[in-house]
Structure 1
Amino acid sequence: MVRILHTADWHLGQTLAGFSREEEHRAALDALVDLAAREAVDAVIVAGDVFDTLNPSADAQTLYFDTLARLRAARPHAAIVVVAGNHDPAGRLEAPRGLYRLADVHVTGTIARAADGYDLARHLIPVRDATGAIGAQVLAVPFPRVADLPPLDAATEGSPVVAGVRGLYRGMIAQAKAAIGDTPLVVTGHLHVAGGLESEGAERRILVGGEHAVPPEIFPAEAAYVALGHLHKPQRVGRDTIRYSGALFPLSKTESGYEHGATLVTLEGGMVQVEHRPLPRPVPVLRVPARGALSRGEVEAALAALDLDPATPFARRAFVYLNVAVEGPATGLQAEIAEIAEGFPLRLVAVTLERPAATGEGAAEPVAMRLAERRPEEVFREAFALKHGAPPSPAHEEAFAALLAMDEDAADEEAA
């Protein structure tokens, strides 16, 4: 029997509205290392997006290397496998190969080929139990870039990109199974598999050629388990043994409802058991209100009702997204609400102004006109109403007329 801890999408170095998340990352990775030790795992797989950007900061890299060292100390015999995601600097990630070798850490940033196909010495990592017996093999496949795919055939039925990804996995899995026989094969991937639920606005559509998802059928039954990264919600895709572990904690507003954590995989006697293991959330990520929107007058009371501890260190204060219902002009409202929020022990990420949806009743069909045929005052009124959901007040009309007059005077002077 071997046990594998599957994690992904750390996004070290990420900030939220300019606020550092390093404190959260440290706490979440502490919990991850503790989980690996407590469950006595034989392998840890990090399925991509270790970093948030292609040029990670020194602090983010330090936290990454410190975490690898702590995992190695917690589980001296365990295989530690890291693959690059679309956010990662693939070449730089795997560059310290000699140092990784000293720590028995396996990092794969790009696809390595050999004369007879793929370089399995770089891609195939044994997972040994406490006795030293090999209980599984990990086929480490990073985010597939264009150069990694087999030659694309535009005449292929369907998407040539999907066909290329399918061919990549088919070739690598076939070669790996020929080398390991009946030993269970665990395959990694960092891509969007069709059927997986995205976190709106948080994840890029990453395949080339206009495609963004591949079918789960690209992973054949020969793969005992598929450890995926890229989508931040923990979930199965296609079958129970194809899974996204999800991110360590919410990386955006749309992820606050997930139970974040890691996946514990047990392989024994041809059976695969998969369990989601939640991790403590280091910092609350709150939408206020949970549904709908507040009026301007309700904002202060709603923030007070959160009952947040003023003694909380700044780096552990809750992230808050406010939704406020408005009708008519809202000039200066966001700044006003931000000033109110400063009186509470929280970090305001964003204020979303929600307006009543237009019914469209009685709306006239738009008439195509050239801008030269329109009077500036008409264009201003329409633009103001579109922006603020209400016509301009007399004061706004007067201010625009004054600006227009200044512009006309300047034009006359230039012509003279």
Structure 2
Amino acid sequence: MRILHTADWHIGQTLNGWSRDHEHRAFLDRLQDVILAEDVDALLVAGDVFDGINPSGEAQRLLYGAIARMVRSCPHLQIILTAGNHDPAQRLEAPEAVLKELGVHVLGTLRRGAEGVDLDRHLIALRDRHGAIRAHVLAVPFLRQADLPGLRLGAEDGDEPAITAAVRALHREMTEAAVARVGGLPLLAMGHLTCSGGLASDGAERRILIGGEHAVPPDVFPGELAYVALGHLHRPQSLDGGRVRYSGSAFPLSASEIAYDHGVTLIDLSDGVSHRHIPIDRPVPMFRLPRSGSGKLEDMLAALAEITLSSDTPRDKQPFLYLSLIADRPVTMLAAEIETLMERTPARLAGLSITRSDQPAQERPPATLAETSPEDLFLSAFQEVHGTPPDAHHLAAFRDALSEA
């Protein structure tokens, strides 16, 4: 039996206002090719299916259209989707009654009954193309504080924080109950969280905080779990000898992910449990100029000249550029030059950072909001990223967003 582990699709994401729908369509088409080529029986999507809690109609059409095509081309395929911290959990579950008829399970929230977690819902049998049960998966969505009953924030339970102890107890409870049901067949699990020892990227992954804690050790997953399919960290990586693994995101979601080997993970249950990474080519190139640090505009132009760009490339397929510049002239003048440059360059600006050569090191922000305000933090962050204070329309947009939060 073969299972495909993937996560962190972030459908609906934009970069500096640019849609990434073309990239998501290309990725989902390639994913379908892998499912057929590798004879996959089940697809696990471990959270952050969407990029935000209010996905557009187009983002939802992308997802459900892809699911329909996958099931149509591979009728025996089972699909299990669990919510991540970016996902609208209830909205993700809304079409469950229809999707379940197609062999698609959607779990946005942790369901409990009188006797604990509802295993009839969260423990899912995985069948091969002949209908025989070959394994089971404990499908666990992103956990929130309410999912950890009895949690006392700030407390210590022995040698570990209360959050770690609570997550450990939840997975131990679920695993013990599942083992009693699976009859010796392989038991896998899905989750969406940060494991200590995992390498995170900057710019796209939110630090998930509960009671000040954002990471748990991989040994919170009991040894009876043959494989743990995780989402949240965007770099493909394995922990605990490969038993606990992040498949990584579909393609780079920020400048810090440009060097990642994006792809999916194929799990093979033919002889024990083994897995291998399958790279997936990114649909659109992404560059950071310079590759590290900051440089002058002249240096950036020289680096840009080495990139093959074509004016015939459709807008939604043009490369993304992150530019990090040192201002050797007024920041407003340099920003205007960049704007003019991008108007005649067949590429899309994903981000621009301008640092004045005489700019002093930025002070670290206060540790708590009691010592500052959200608007002060916004002003500081905007200045640090762009090298210039926000205009009136930036400030107005921030205040509108804050009023709706």
TM-score category (smaller protein): 0.7 to 0.9
| 1:392 aligned partner | none
The amino acid across from 1:215 in the alignment is P
| 2:200 paired with 1:201 | no
| 2:334 corresponds to | 333
Q: CA deviation at 1:101?
A: 2.0
TM-fit CA distance, 1:329: 4.1
CA–CA distance in 2 between the matches of 1:168 and 1:215?
A: 14
Please tell me the residue identity of whatever aligns with 1:44: L
Q: Is the 8 A contact 2:229 2:247 kept in 1?
A: yes
Q: Confirm whether residue 65 of structure 1 aligns to residue 67 of structure 2.
A: no
Cα RMSD (Å) of the superposition? 1.9
Deviations 1:256-303 (A, max 9, x none): 10011110000134x211111011110001012223433223343432
Residues 80 and 106, structure 1, Cα contact 8 Å, conserved in 2: yes
| Distance in 2 of aligned mates of 1:344 and 1:201 | 25
Contact 2:13/2:19 (CA < 8 Å) preserved in 1?
A: yes
**Superposed, which structure 2 residues align to 1:4-403 within 5 Å?**
4-153=3-152, 154=155, 156-157=157-158, 158-269=160-271, 271-327=272-328, 329-354=330-355
**Segment drifting more, 142-151 vs 290-299:** 290-299
Matching residue's letter, 1:14: Q
Is the CA contact 1:300–1:340 (under 8 Å) kept in the aligned structure 2?
no
Where 1:332 maps in the other structure, the secondary structure is helix
The C-alpha deviation readout for 1:42-89, integer Å capped at 9, x for no partner, is: 100000000011111101111111111122123211221000000111
Q: Tell me, yes or no, if the aligned pair for 1:150 and 1:167 is still in contact at 8 Å.
A: no
CA contact (8 A) 1:150 1:168 kept: no
Deviations 1:112-150 (A, max 9, x none): 122332211211111112232211101100001111113
- C-alpha separation in 1, matches of 2:182 and 2:268: 19
Q: CA deviation at 1:357?
A: 8.5
What amino acid is aligned across from residue 132 of structure 2 in structure 1? Answer: A
Q: Distance in 1 between matches of 2:112 and 2:301?
A: 60
Which amino acid letter does the alignment assign opposite residue 40 of structure 1?
A: D
Equivalent AA in structure 1 for residue 157 of structure 2: T
- Match of 1:341, SS state, is helix
Q: Output the CA distance in 2 between the equivalents of 1:357 and 1:253.
A: 25
Opposite residue 213 of structure 1, the aligned amino acid is: A
1:305 Cα deviation after fit = 2.5
Distance 1:23 1:321 in 2: 19
Letter in 1 for 2:87: D
In the TM superposition, residue 354 of structure 1 has moved relative to its aligned partner by 4.1
TM-score by length of 2: 0.85
Partner Cα distance (1:195, 1:68) in 2:
33
Structure 2 CA distance for aligned equivalents of residues 197 and 51 of structure 1: 22
Higher mean displacement: 138-147 or 330-339: 330-339
8 Å CA contact retained: 1:47, 1:190: yes
Shift of 1:304: 2.8
Which consecutive residues of structure 2, in runs of 5 or more, have no partner in the other structure? 362-382, 385-405
Distance 1:359 1:77, change over 3 A: closer
String of CA shifts for 1:94-119, please: whole Å, max 9, x gaps.
Answer: 12221122212111111112233221
Residues 370-404 of structure 1: CA deviation (Å, up to 9, x unaligned):
xxxxxxxxxxxxxxxx99xxxxxxxxxxxxxxxxx
Which AA in structure 1 matches 2:120? A
Distance 2:107 2:324 in 1: 42
CA contact (8 A) 2:290 2:300 kept: no
Equivalents in 1 of 2:146, 2:193: separation in Å?
15
Quick check: 291-300 or 159-168, which moved more? Answer: 291-300
Q: Is the 8 A contact 1:52 1:88 kept in 2?
A: yes
The DSSP-based 3-state class of the residue aligned with 1:26 is: helix
Alignment gaps of 5+ in structure 1: 361-385, 388-416
1:247 corresponds to which letter in structure 2?
S
Measured after TM superposition, the shift of residue 255 of structure 1 is 0.5
Equivalents in 1 of 2:14, 2:347: separation in Å?
16
